[in-house]
Structure formats: C-alpha cells, structure tokens
Structure 1
Amino acid sequence: MTSVDTLIRGITNGVAPGEVCSTDLVEAPWNFDTGIPAYGPGSSMFDAIPAHSPLQGELPEEYRTASADELHARIMAAKATLGDRVLMLGHFYQRDEVVQYADYVGDSFQLAVKAKASPAAEAIVFCGVHFMAETADLLSGPDQAVILPNLAAGCSMADMADIDSVEAAWEQLEEIYGDMTAVDESGRVPVIPVTYMNSAADLKGFCGRHGGIVCTSSNAETVLEWAFARGRRVLFFPDQHLGRNTAKAMGVPLSQMPMWNPRRPLGGSTVAELEDAKVVLWNGFCSVHKRFTVDQIAKARAEFPGVKVIVHPECPMPVVDAADAAGSTDFIVKAIAAAPAGSTFAIGTEINLVQRLAQEYPQHTIFCLDSVVCPCSTMYRIHPGYIAWALEALVGSASRPSEVLNRIQVADDIAVPARIALDRMLAAKPGHTVSV
C-alpha cells in the first residue's frame, strides 16, 4: 500500500488509476505561501478564508530544494540531538511522510492530553493545524514552546465561526432569551454555549466566560448532557453536523434545531423558532466530511456485500443515518483493530487515515467511501521541509544560536477563560440523564 502522496503523484502522472480533486496536490505546500491567505489544494480549496489568516513566511531554499532522503536524514539527526527535550505530535490526518517522525499519533483531543501530560518537553512540535497547536499551548506548561511547522496550516471549519460573529449572535439571542445568567425554576439558564474542539482559542474563551464548555467528536454526547443539565438550550458551533447528529441521537427533534447563519438577522430563523429551540446550530462544516454521500454508501454496499460502513459524525446527517456506525477517528481506529480477520470496511473520513489503516490491517479490506483522492487541504500544509527547518532551528549551530520558530501562544486574557471551558470538558462524565 502506497502513501497518499505517492498515490496522488501516480494518478497525476498517469501511472496509477484513480482521480484526484486537484492536480495542484503534487506541488510542495510552500508554492502556495504567496502572501495571500489560502487553504491550498484539497478538500477546502474552495472555502472562503478570512483575510487575517496567518501566513507562513518563505521557507529557506535549502529546505525547499532538499531531496526526501536528505530531509529525512536531517530530521532524524535533529531529533537525535534534541532527544526528550522535544515532543513531536502527529494528527491522524497527517501524510505518512510526516507521521513517521511523530512520537505520538492521535486525534486532536488525544494530542492535547498528551501535550498536557508531557511537562518535561521544552518544545512541542505539533504536526496538525492551528487550533490544535493553540489547545496544546493552553494545556501545556508556560515554559513549554508549542511550534506549528507551517503557520498557514489553519482549518476552514474553525474559520467559519469567529469571535465577532459569535458575540453578535449571543447579543441577538440575549434580546430573545433575556438575562443569560438568570436561572429558571429548574436551575437552568436560557442557553449554554458549546464549542467544538475544532475552533479558535478565543471561542473557547468565550465559552469559558459564558458558562460554556468545549467538546470533541468522541465526547459530544457527554458534553451536551452536561450542557442540558445547566441550560434550556445549547448554542453549538462551529460544526452543524456534529451538533445535529449528536443531538438527534439524544432524542432532540430536528424541528428544535434551527440553523444560525451569521450573515442573516437572527441567524435566518424566527423568534418563535429560536424560543422553541433546544440546539441552535452554527452554519459551519468540515469540507473533508462534507464530501461523503449516501450514494457512495449505496455503491459500497452493492460492490462489497457485507461491508461495514463507518463514518465520522462531522458527515451530513443522511450519511450518518445510512452508515452502520459513526464515531471519532479514535472510534474508527478501534473498531477496525477489534474486527475479525477478513472484515470489509468502507470509511468516511480523511484519506490519509483510511490509507494508513488499510496498510496497518492487511487482513481486512479497507477503503475510503470517496473514490476521489482529496486530502484535508490544511493538514497537507505540513511537510518534512518545514519540520526539518523548525527542528534544526531548535538545535542551532556554531553560526546560529538555538531559536524557536513559529511559536503558538495564546494571550492570557483568552487563555484563562479558555482553560475553564476545557477543564469543564475534562471533568464531564457520561451517564447523566437529562430530559431534552
């Protein structure tokens, strides 16, 4: 089984069968660090990016022109020199050419917990995207430097909810619900804000200031239980699909889950709809998981009788409903690991993880629901060239002192309330039955 990088090159060069969503995927990511914010080729390439999005400065030529073998040798030498002083974290969705250097691989929540549990590391090189590095900075020690190898590795979903839009929404909801801190006869406030881990630190801080909480795809139901015990409603952002799929499974009717479009007055809903709401869903989504369809599931079932279809809960509701199971990346990994030999899986999540699972479990037949190879645009911005650059700067040389590049730091006024929201999530336990 070849890596996604190799597969993309083979398809683009006509030596391998298949289809890619953009031939620009064969280009090195620094070719898109042009001074104009862009997500780059891949699943998010057509998403609108905020004008203030971080930009990555030009990578020195020695790293841009180095061969894969040379970069590998330099990275391994730097890691050997730095030893336990540096912890490298790799997200499941990273390309194999990056994951091979990670000391620990996991989903965003697992990696954040690992950062918190590694106080001895002087630096944490986070091979993921911007919001993940922010969360690692929130949970790690003040003397630990969190490094994002490419500052342009953002997240289009996270960018779909910004602090100004969320605060404006909160003010409009306050006009309908009244005092947001007033409790009713059951001891609940009008609304609890819940932000997905896939959001900027200032939105986590917003939740911390307003009695809210953070969730992940693996604990969303537990978090919503926590929120319904404290509020009559939930404002859930930025991913509408995770919120809808989770709340629906808990028994919340779709009629009580209005969508909030930040570009429309009252989010595009009526006062009556918002008063009756149980979950107000932000109009955001993941471009990777939006690609999966019910037709793809039907095709997989027709071609592979007995196939088990597992999708991520960021997929649209009809896809989740048509699948055999839905769960976080960690859920998907564990389901495949526990399956009897000879099982067949069609997976609805990012192609790098699916391809890696197919390689790690050759006793199974594992394939991606989407036949078009289209990786996460922003995860794909991390490349061995940036890793070598960041690590060698930490090592330093006779002519250049050790230097921390691309450090991600969350300001204290945001970090303090953001940690409150994260701590609430970490303390939330499943099993609290709440009437919704």
Structure 2
Amino acid sequence: MTSTAPTASVDLTLRTLPTGALPTSTCSTQLLDAPWDVDARDPGYGPGASMSDAIPAASPRQGEIPREYREASAEELDRRIRAAKAQLGERVVVLGHFYQRDEVVQYADYVGDSFQLATAAKGHREAEAIIFCGVHFMAETADLLSTPEQAVILPNLAAGCSMADMADIDQVEECWEQLMEVYAEEAAAAGEDAPAPVIPVTYMNSSAAIKGFVGRHGGIVCTSSNAAAVLEWAFARGRQVLFLPDQHLGRNTAKAMGVGLEEMAMWNPRRPLGGNEEQALREAKVLLWHGFCSVHKRFTTAQIDTARAEHPGVRVIVHPECPMPVVDAADESGSTDYIRRAIEGASEPTTFAIGTEINLVQRLAAQHPQHTIFCLDPVVCPCSTMYRIHPGYLAWVLEALCEGTVLNRITVGEDVAEPARVALERMLAVRPAPVR
C-alpha cells in the first residue's frame, strides 16, 4: 500500500495513472467520462462506489446542459465561475461537501459535512440563492432551514444518495404500521403516561420525506457526530428505537453505548415484519433499517491489517458508517469533521490510514504534508453521486443567476417541511458529549 498522490484532485489522479493501470486502480473506467455523458446514458448513480446500487425509478434525471459548458476548458470554466461569483456577490453562497471533487470545492464559500453546510445556509439570510455542491438530501435540508425567499440550487439533479434512497417513505410507513400492530396490546396496557413503544430516529442522510415522517411520530434527526446523544434522547422517551437508514451507524453507536448485539434486530423492508418474529421485535432495543453507505461498505479489516503491517505505528481512523468489524479493528472512529480535526490536532508527524471517501482523504493529505495520510482502500473509488457535480454545471447555474434565472431549484412541500423542521429542531436542541 502506498500513500496518495501529492495532488488533492481525485480527477487528476485518475487521469495521471500509468497507462494500463486504470482498470485495477479504480472501481470503474467510466470515472474518466464527463458527467453529462454519464447523465445522458446512465439511469443509475453513475460510476463510483454506488454504481451497483439499485436506483428508484422516480429519481431525478439531469437534462442536457448547453454545449458551451460541456466543451469549455477547465481554464475557461474557472474564469466564468469566478466572474459570475464576483458579479453576484453576497446574493449567492456556494456550499461544498467534504466529499466533493477538488475542482468544485475550490469555489465553495463554505466546506463541511451535510449538517455544517445546512447550518451555514441557515446563517446567510442575505443570500438570494444557495448553491449546494453536494447531493439531493443535503439540498433538501438546506431548503428546510433557509427562508422561503431563498432558492436552493443543486447543480446536477442526478446527484442523489443511494443510502438515502434505501429508506423509501412508503416502505417506512408500512414498517410503522406493522410495528404499531405488534405493540398495540402493549401500548394499550401501559397507559398514556408510559414511554412510547418505539421512537424513530433518522440519520441526516435521508430524504425530507423521512425527516417529515420522523417529526410526525415523535422522533428526531441525528448526525454521525451526535448519534449517541440523540439515541440517549430517544431512549429517554421510548422503549425502543427505529434507526433509519444506515444500519452500520446505528449498530456502531448503540454498541458503543452498551446495547448488546442480541438487543438489535434488522428490519428488511422487503420481508413481512422486516424478517423478524414478533417476539424478537418486542425484545429488541434497536431496530436497524437495512441500509448502508456504499463508500464506507468498501472498507475491510484486511485493509487495516495491511496498513498495520506496512506502516508500523499507523493511526487508523474510520467513519462510523463502516461495518462493525472495521470500526472495532480501527484505533478510532468518527465523523468526517472528527477525522479532519484529529489530523489537524496531531502535533508530531504521524501516519494516518483513513476509512472514508477518497476526495476528503486526498485533500487532507495535500493540506498536511507533514503527515503520511492514505486511504485504507487502495482502489480509487469516489462517491458516485458527489462525482456528478462538475465545474461545468456550477458555471451553468451561476451564469443563469446572473441573467435572473434560477435553475435546478430544490423545494420541499410545506406538508413535509413542517414536521421535518420539528425533527431537525429537536436535534439542534440535543448537545453531544464534549470530545475528549
């Protein structure tokens, strides 16, 4: 295993791989294709970590953007983006997710995780437009937290999230109905003042519809950094938690809090009662939805073993969306912001093996040359849907704003937005334990 290339750009890394190395060094040769070509031919998530995931039939598709943006050189796009931003000034704020390609992040006014960026959007009431260089659920959250007058724009409508799509609102509603039938007698016998039989908790990486569902049913939203505090909140109000949509974050967090694996049950939405017996559901403390992040599912304990063998003393940090054996084998686990702060806080030159999305890992390696920083997965395989955002799309939506036209606006209907905001406000009121 070797450290990442000196550049922070995953796109440039792919294009400078030795001739013949591409098929084995990346997860897909199509990563070299322009995203508008992928948009035109691929109804799926596109090349990258989620390319094998099934995409819902109703997922948004991106129409063809004008030829001038598709054929423009990187230098021309750079000039046009900077000129448009200068013309718009404070009328626009550009948000870039940690996992976004470097060619786009360079134009962001704020860079962070989904919650940090939604908070940044909330803090800029003066902006007429918020351009979210991330994925669909993130733009929805920004719309929930911004004012009705502000337009939230997703440069490429095909930038979705396979994990978020794994919790379909119809499936979740059906799950809830089945659970209420299982707990009907128990709830009736307990009385009105007893804890609720189950509290729904959804990860920030979910659709606005799921956040709205959670808000309507006394539940709450969580992030990867405050999941433990949110679960404590939920257990104080209910006997059991339904955790959506990422099974690994739910399992890893509950396990770290002392919940036994025998007290967790998996809910498979394609099977009656999620594939469980009624008694097992009654005895469970946490119900885990059968969802996952395809980026973090790629990391393995074998990769950690290789990193330790080749780099004695390596510090292994992984995201809590990784499978439980990987989190258990690592030295630490934490959110993308936790990983960033851990590296920034290392006072001595350190070797880090990181288990999270490659764009962030390579950017951290470029920003901290005093350390040796590499991705646990030796195969360059970025988040498929983040990779759908390209400077060409950013130039397109920015220049349209200069002409008074709003493209690719993301809006959440008020029937969903009102309860979703309730779930988000509950989360904002929960304070995670201080990081030691």
3-state SS, counterpart of residue 210 of structure 2: helix
Question: 1:353 aligned to 347, 356, 360, which one?
Answer: 360
CA RMSD of aligned residues (A): 1.7
3-state SS, counterpart of residue 320 of structure 1: helix
Distance apart, 1:341 and its partner CA: 2.7
Determine the structure 1 residue equivalent to 2:76: 70
Determine the structure 1 residue equivalent to 2:408: 406
The one-letter amino acid of 1:19's match is S
Determine the structure 2 residue equivalent to 1:10: 16
Determine the structure 2 residue equivalent to 1:249: 256
Determine the structure 2 residue equivalent to 1:415: 417
Q: C-alpha offsets along residues 259-278 of structure 1, whole Å, 9 cap, x if unaligned?
A: 00000010011111100010
Question: 2:387 aligned to 380, 386, 393, which one?
Answer: 380
Contact 2:225 2:432 in 1 (8 A): no
Pair 1:315-2:322 in alignment: yes
Question: 2:372 aligned to 358, 361, 365, which one?
Answer: 365
Contact 1:237 1:281 in 2 (8 A): yes
Distance apart, 1:218 and its partner CA: 0.5
The one-letter amino acid of 1:6's match is L
Question: 2:107 aligned to 101, 107, 116, which one?
Answer: 101
Question: 1:119 aligned to 108, 111, 125, which one?
Answer: 125
Pair 1:199-2:206 in alignment: yes
Contact 2:23 2:29 in 1 (8 A): no
Q: C-alpha offsets along residues 342-364 of structure 1, whole Å, 9 cap, x if unaligned?
A: 11100000000000000000000
Cα 1:184/1:332, change in 2 over 3 Å: farther
Contact 1:194 1:235 in 2 (8 A): yes
Contact 1:4 1:352 in 2 (8 A): yes
3-state SS, counterpart of residue 40 of structure 2: coil
The TM-score normalised by the length of structure 1 is 0.95
Q: C-alpha offsets along residues 194-216 of structure 1, whole Å, 9 cap, x if unaligned?
A: 01000000000000100000000
Pair 1:216-2:223 in alignment: yes
Contact 1:130 1:154 in 2 (8 A): yes
Determine the structure 2 residue equivalent to 1:399: none
Determine the structure 2 residue equivalent to 1:336: 343
Q: Aligned residues: percent identity?
A: 72
CA distance in 2, matches of 1:48, 1:124: 30
Question: 2:426 aligned to 418, 421, 424, which one?
Answer: 424
Contact 2:22 2:29 in 1 (8 A): no
CA distance in 2, matches of 1:395, 1:382: 20
3-state SS, counterpart of residue 17 of structure 2: helix
- Higher RCO by CA contacts (8 Å cutoff, separation 6 or greater): 2
3-state SS, counterpart of residue 16 of structure 2: helix
How many residue pairs align between the two structures? 427
Cα 1:184/1:257, change in 2 over 3 Å: farther
Distance apart, 1:18 and its partner CA: 6.8
Determine the structure 2 residue equivalent to 1:28: 34
Contact 1:36 1:55 in 2 (8 A): no
The TM-score normalised by the length of structure 2 is 0.95
Contact 1:18 1:371 in 2 (8 A): no
Distance apart, 1:388 and its partner CA: 0.2
Q: C-alpha offsets along residues 195-249 of structure 1, whole Å, 9 cap, x if unaligned?
A: 1000000000000100000000010001000000000000001000000000000
Distance apart, 1:11 and its partner CA: 2.2
The one-letter amino acid of 2:287's match is V
Determine the structure 1 residue equivalent to 2:3: none
Determine the structure 1 residue equivalent to 2:241: 234
Cα 1:68/1:233, change in 2 over 3 Å: same
Question: 1:326 aligned to 319, 325, 333, which one?
Answer: 333
CA distance in 2, matches of 1:162, 1:180: 27
Pair 1:280-2:282 in alignment: no
Question: 1:143 aligned to 138, 149, 169, which one?
Answer: 149
Q: C-alpha offsets along residues 378-401 of structure 1, whole Å, 9 cap, x if unaligned?
A: 0000000000000000001xxxxx
Cα 1:53/1:146, change in 2 over 3 Å: same
Determine the structure 1 residue equivalent to 2:312: 305
Q: Superposed, which structure 2 residues align to 1:83-102 within 5 Å? A: 83-102=89-108
Moved over 3 A (4+): 12-18, 179-187
CA distance in 1, matches of 2:17, 2:187: 57
Contact 1:11 1:17 in 2 (8 A): no
Distance apart, 1:256 and its partner CA: 1.1
Question: 2:48 aligned to 42, 49, 63, which one?
Answer: 42
CA distance in 2, matches of 1:431, 1:275: 30
3-state SS, counterpart of residue 347 of structure 1: strand
Q: Superposed, which structure 2 residues align to 1:160-179 within 5 Å? A: 160-178=166-184
